[in-house]
Amino acid sequence: MSITITLIGGPTALIEIDGFRLLTDPTFDAPGDYQLPHVKLEKLTGPALGVRDVGEIDAVLLSHDQHSDNLDHSGRDFLKDARRVLTTEAGAKRLGGNTEGFAPWASTTLKKGGRTLAITATPARHGPAGIEPLSGDVIGFVVERPKPGRPVYVSGDTTWFDGVAEVARRFDCGVVLPFAGAAQTRGPFHLTMDTNDAIETARAFADAVIVPVHTDGWAHFRQNAGDLRASFDTLGFGRRLRILEPGVATVIES
């Protein structure tokens, strides 16, 4: 079975699956600087699609709400009109409105025209062990359609750790969207997957198609899609890697 994914920019992607339209971490602002409490982030490129181009969304899958490279000003406005917004428990308390908070492994169901999608929140760690008090809560998502379709895993902002490995043990995912880019802001460590983490993820999800997002558009991303391509090709995983062209709807067979 197939799904269609359109990369909008950074962590933002439109996922179309069985008639449902899902949006990951909405970022629609123009390039510019974002001052956070402890660091300034620089956005280098704007989105490939604007808010009006995206159309109606059945659910927003928001990995966390505290960093502008995952939820910017326009993204916050977008949430107000979304049918459902799924995020962390702490994020739902901060955002209010129509947001729904989930702990890891908690699930919900989307319904539309007699069809259903099950969505399960998954563990995520936004950097090395011990960073949680600084980075805050983060989650990923597994999207399950009725069989014979296979689940889709959206990692959210996370590095490779035992929580990601546990997702692979629990779910036979056919498509995996790792949040890559080796983001680095606070010190000599990365906050999202680098090429090694992405390779470990590909190994754990043994035959899944790997569709990276979060590789472009911000100055604190230390690696890009080209780095992933070189690493995957060198290690023999290249045929499983799909690099998306921003703004182009791409059919992924799983």
Q: If phi over 0 gives left and psi between -120 and 50 gives alpha, with beta otherwise, what is residue 192? A: beta
Residue 237, class by beta-carbon neighbours within 10 Å (0-12 exposed, 13-18 middle, 19+ buried)? middle
Enter the tokens of residue 198. Answer: 């992405």
The whole-angstrom separation of Cα 250 and Cα 253 is 10
pLDDT per residue rounded down to tens, the chain (254 residues): 789 999 999 999 999 999 999 999 999 999 988 887 777 888 999 999 998 899 899 999 999 998 788 899 899 999 998 999 999 999 999 999 999 999 999 999 999 999 999 999 999 998 777 676 666 789 999 999 988 889 999 999 999 999 999 999 999 999 999 999 998 887 788 889 999 999 999 999 999 999 999 999 889 999 999 999 999 999 999 999 999 999 999 999 87
Record the tokens describing residue 61, joined without a space.
Answer: 């899958």
Distance CA 151, CA 39 (A): 36
Cα gap 226→167, rounded to integer Å: 26
